[in-house]
Homo-oligomer: A and B are copies of this chain.
Amino acid sequence: MQRALQYIESNKERYLSELKEFLAIPSVSSQSTHNGDMQRCAQWVADHMRTIGMQNVKVMPTPGHPVVYSEWLGAPGAPTVLLYGHYDVQPVDPLNLWTSPPFEMTIRGEQIFARGAADDKGQVFIHFKSIEAIMKQSGKLPVNIKMLIEGEEEVGSENLDNFVKDHTELLKADLVLISDSSMFAKDVPSICYALRGLSYLEIEVTGPNKDLHSGSFGGSVHNPIQALSEMIASLHDKNGKVTIPGFYNKVRALSKAERTAFAKLPFKEKEYAKDLGVKELYGEKGFSSLERVWARPTLECNGIWGGYTGEGAKTVLPSKAFAKISCRLVPDQDSASIAKMVEKHLKKIAPKTIQIQVRNLHGGEAAITPINSPGVQAAIVALEKGFGKKPLYQREGGSIPIVVQFKKLLGLDTVLLGFGLPDENAHSPNEFLNINNFYGGIKTSVHFFNELPNFWKGKSKK
């Protein structure tokens, strides 16, 4: 172990120059002019996997951009880690806002600037380099590793579901490791162990059977915009709680330990409000902002429209009004049940003066990897050793669909080991990865692979 860490220290410069090579390939998955670059990048990843000692390396075609697979299975009895990442990147426009060219890696101060530095090439490369260090020093790894590096994450991973379904045997593992997210803040290593789920619905309210003149008819029928507004307004009570009966029934309560852990994070509500430009925050009474967005289910209007929305005035009393609303869900809520519950409630509260249609657009489940699971425990120790600092626990309010899919299709929990920073400009000009996080990440990865078997002992395995 110590030798692997020394190897990293003495190869620091080479690691950077290889990362520069990787980042120089403009692997923009959404732009067909870069299709050749995508192939070239997949090949680079495959070649690099071979260099660091991975076996059975394959560039596997999909209907879109290829997946790069490899494995090292020489640790019988040890757990198998499925490392997921992606080699494709976001477009670079607007180019003129970049301080240095997006595909010429440039270090300024503590930051490594380039498109893909954080999202996700840099973070994939972190694990490549830790594996290289361990393999070069001891000729073997303490765990089995399978790598699944795809090329379509930035375009919705359209073909990944089918790829996983078609290769369940090949991808069989004990847990998934993903480094495609951020630490809580600079110098605040953290482990994210839960994501929220989603139920997304569209509401269509119909009042009169055609658009009416608001002068000749205003006052005689229920305006569908007004009716929709009344319904939306009624979905939260004065304490910011969602009023839909049963909405909170299956919510897994926050443990005291979690609340204490969140409270330790360097987060100030006043600064958060100031950053967002609001005078006062809003949310469910009895919970902090972090608790609200990470561990409480919420209901948001994502869109609303109806009547005249152009410039100036038009005196219309519209026939229809629409809204898109979505609920963010937490364990152990079920997205299909919540969608039905919301639909039923909306139909119940709809006044007789209008008609309502509710469409369930899509949904996904929340994900949680228990804090006391071996993967999270190993990550905690690894982060502390890698960054010299006890990491903090965090959750995330959004969803990462692939995490839910790995659970659904392969039955695997995911460890999210993010080395980015919240302000890394992942989809904007001047994307960067902090250089301390780059080296700290490589060390953390070494420790993670080393620690995992210790925590795994006595646990059931596939």
Contact = CB atoms under 8 A, between A and B. Distances in A.
Interface of A: 196, 198, 200, 206-210, 212-223, 225-226, 228-230, 232-236, 272, 276-284, 289, 292-293, 296, 298, 300-309, 312-318, 321-324, 326, 328, 351-355, 361-362, 396-399
Contacts of A222: 278, 280, 282
Given A226-B236, A298-B219, A314 B307 contact: no
Which of A210, A234, A278 has the most chain B CB atoms inside 10 A of its CB? A278
Find the residue from A208, A228, A276 having the highest chain B CB count within 10 A: A276
B324 A308 contact: yes
A108 B276 CA distance: 67
Which of A217, A220, A284, A361 lies at the interface centre, i.e. has the most chain B CB atoms within 10 A of its CB?
A220
Number of copies: 2
Contact of A313 (B225, B322, B326, B396): B326
A218 to B, nearest CB: 4
Contact of A278 (B207, B234, B326): B207
Contact of A353 (B279, B318, B361): B279
A398 B279 contact: no
Contacts of A215: 196, 198, 328, 396-399
Nearest to A422: B216
A281 to B, nearest CB: 6
Given A208-B278, A276-B208, A326-B214, A313 B308 contact: no
A317 B300 contact: yes
B304 A217 contact: no
Query: Which residue of A212, A301, A303, A317 has the most chain B CB atoms within 10 A of its CB atom?
Result: A301
Given A222-B278, A278-B222, A282-B222, A307 B301 contact: yes
A293 B219 contact: yes
A44 to B, nearest CB: 31
Nearest to A276: B208
A2 to B, nearest CB: 39
Contacts of A303: 225, 306-309, 314, 316, 318
Instruction: Give the dominant DSSP class at A's interface.
Output: mixed
B398 A220 contact: no
A304 B305 contact: yes
Contact of A302 (B221, B283, B315): B315
A282 B317 CA distance: 13
Given A216-B398, A220-B283, A304 B302 contact: no
Contacts of A229: 228-230, 232-233, 301, 304
B353 A219 contact: no
A304 B324 contact: no
A303 B361 CA distance: 24
A396 B208 CA distance: 19
B302 A316 contact: yes
Given A225-B232, A281-B353, 15 more contacts: A200-B313, A215-B396, A216-B397, A218-B293, A218-B298, A219-B284, A219-B397, A220-B272, A221-B282, A221-B283, A229-B304, A280-B351, A300-B317, A302-B317, A303-B309
A420 to B, nearest CB: 14
B220 A300 contact: no
Q: Give the interface centre of A196, A216, A312 by most chain B CB atoms within 10 Å.
A: A216
Nearest to A398: B215
Contact of A219 (B210, B213, B217, B292): B292
B225 A323 contact: yes
B200 A315 contact: yes
Contacts of A321: 304
A308 B302 contact: yes
A221 to B, nearest CB: 6
Given A219-B283, A315-B198, A276 B209 contact: yes
A223 B300 contact: yes
Contacts of A278: 207-209, 221-222, 353-354
Contacts of A398: 213, 215-216, 315
A197 B154 CA distance: 54
Contacts of A198: 215, 315
Q: Which 4 A-B pairs have the closest CB atoms?
A: A215-B398, A209-B277, A219-B298, A222-B282
